[in-house]
Amino acid sequence: MRNMSLKPVVALGALIALIGCSSQVPLTPGVIREYGLTDQDVKKLQLYISGGLLFEQENTKVDKNVDSSHALKTVTDNYVKQIYFKKKTPCIAVTVRSDKLEVAFEPDDRLTFSLSTTPEKQTAYFFDPDKRLKDPNEIKRLPASGYKEWKAMGHETYKDSTYVVLVNENMPYLLADQKGLKKLVVDKRAVRGMRQGGE
């Protein structure tokens, strides 16, 4: 008897969780055409990144001191600076072109997401670093930096510093909030126009 009374509560909780979740779809040229989105419409969409993205920069800090015997002593420390964009981090489009979007995750900086140059692979807007690496092994990382399984894909200038771009699997792409797409469509209407003679 006790078990039966919990089932409606669990079902209600699951329903609320589903309603509260917003679904995202890859932002593709097909989606833009299907919904008839203008550049301004794309700028109004809430976008997200499909997967994790890590920017990493290794630095060296040198401290110079004069010790008690009046000898110069230098201590060199290596440290790593990281900027992490977790999966589903929200962003907005600030510049829209047919083959690329510039998006902002924070004020005063942008990342570029581009379509593939081969038409049959133009499925979504993928992150496009400033400079791609030909071989991910050409960058040696500090062993203590973490994210060991992530692979280096290129270099990106962000917040006036250059970082190595690391991804866990593939280059992340942009997702659009499906609810936002539907809202834009609902807000649009076609004007029929007017003809002479009141028709």
Residue 183: the pLDDT is 72
What is the per-residue pLDDT for 44? 93
Longest CA span, the chain: 104
pLDDT tens for the chain, 199 residues long, are 444 454 443 333 333 333 345 599 999 998 999 889 999 999 999 999 999 999 988 876 766 676 666 677 656 677 778 899 999 999 999 999 989 999 999 998 999 999 976 666 668 999 999 998 887 677 776 555 677 788 889 999 998 899 999 998 889 999 998 887 877 665 566 677 767 776 5
d(CA 44, CA 92): 8
The domain limits of the chain are 23-52+87-128+171-186, 54-85+130-170
pLDDT of residue 121: 60
Kindly report the backbone phi and psi dihedral angles of residue 165, in degrees, each rounded to the nearest multiple of 5, phi listed first.
-90, 125
* Strands 161-167 vs 151-158: parallel, antiparallel or unpaired: antiparallel
Among residues 138, 158, 125, 131, the alpha carbon closest in space to that of 56 is found at 158
